Amino acid sequence: MRIIIIGDGKVGYLIAEALITEGHEVTIVDRSEAALLRSRDTLDAMMVKGNGVNVDTLMEAGAPMADIVIAVTVSDEINMLSCLTAKRLGARYAIARIRDPEYHKSLSFLMRELLIDYVINPERLMAQEISRMLRYPFTGSVETFARGRVELMDFRLAQGDLLGDGQAQTAAALAGRGWRLTETLKQMGQILRSDARPFIGDGKPGCVYHSINGAVLG
């Protein structure tokens, strides 16, 4: 995919590095000549010096043919306007980094009016992850889907185990909130069975997943 990254700071550099490793065609836009020189020496990406809000800069970066534009400068306002300009020029998707809490309440309105497809807030994501870890300490991991409306939790069981005391308490609490318990047994990296029975009864190593709002995600 053709991806434009606006903002060559720490976040922008790491995103570009990861995308290039995956084989994407990356263009980096930044006003700092020094930042672009650093990236030019270490990354296989096209560099464009200029303001991400400027139409000429985005045209030079190839915004009309871009699959994704990711704006991650230190300014929320520049990120939002960069996404709007890029989408108007023909970019398929636009992602903006928005950190100011004052924008959170009106985020849906801003995304709709400024043509932003997705918003990233590293600080908020970190706070949510810590909150999940504190709410469900017995789970191995928690994954989020459908824009936070669905959470998938993983219990890892040893040979011969049923749900432990702490895990059973967590499962009971979740059941009271309308969650469903889905069982997925795994062995040697392959899924052996996936159903909605409440407990593992055959003693095989496995994982138990929970899904919210009655959706079975096994």
Split into its structural domains, the chain has a count of: 2
pLDDT at 99: 87
Point out the least confidently predicted range of 89-93, 143-147, 179-183, 208-212: 208-212
Q: Are residues 99 and 6 in the same domain?
A: yes
Q: Is residue 73 part of a domain?
A: yes
Evaluate if residue 85 carries a pLDDT over 80: yes
* pLDDT tens, residue by residue, 131-179: 666 766 666 666 777 666 666 666 665 555 545 444 555 555 555 554 5
Q: How confident is the model at residue 201 (pLDDT cuts 50, 70, 90)?
A: very low
Distance CA 147, CA 140 (A): 21
- The 10 Å CB-count burial string (b at 16+, else e) for 14-31 is ebbeebeeeeebbbbbbb
Reduce the secondary structure of 101-161 to three states and give it as a string: HHHCCCHHHHHHHCCCCEEECHHHHHHHHHHHHHHCCCCCEEEEECCCCEEEEEEEECCCC
Query: What residue numbers bound the domain in which 118 lies?
Result: 2-122
Decide if pLDDT at 30 tops 80.
yes
CATH number (domain holding residue 198): 3.30.70
Q: Note whether 144 and 202 are same-domain residues.
A: yes
Flag whether 178 is in a domain: yes
Same-domain check for residues 80 and 57: yes
**Are residues 118 and 143 both part of a single domain?**
no
Please compute the mean of the pLDDT values over residues 6-34 and round it to a whole number. Answer: 94
Out of 50-54, 122-126, 186-190, least confident range: 186-190
Last residue in a domain, options 73, 92, 122: 122
Can you tell me which residue has the tokens 């929970």? 210
pLDDT in tens, 108-132: 899 999 999 999 887 666 666 676 6
> Do 82 and 183 sit in the same domain of this protein?
no
Indicate the average pLDDT of the chain.
76
The rounded percent of the chain whose pLDDT value lies above 70 is 56
In terms of domains, do 45 and 10 share one? yes
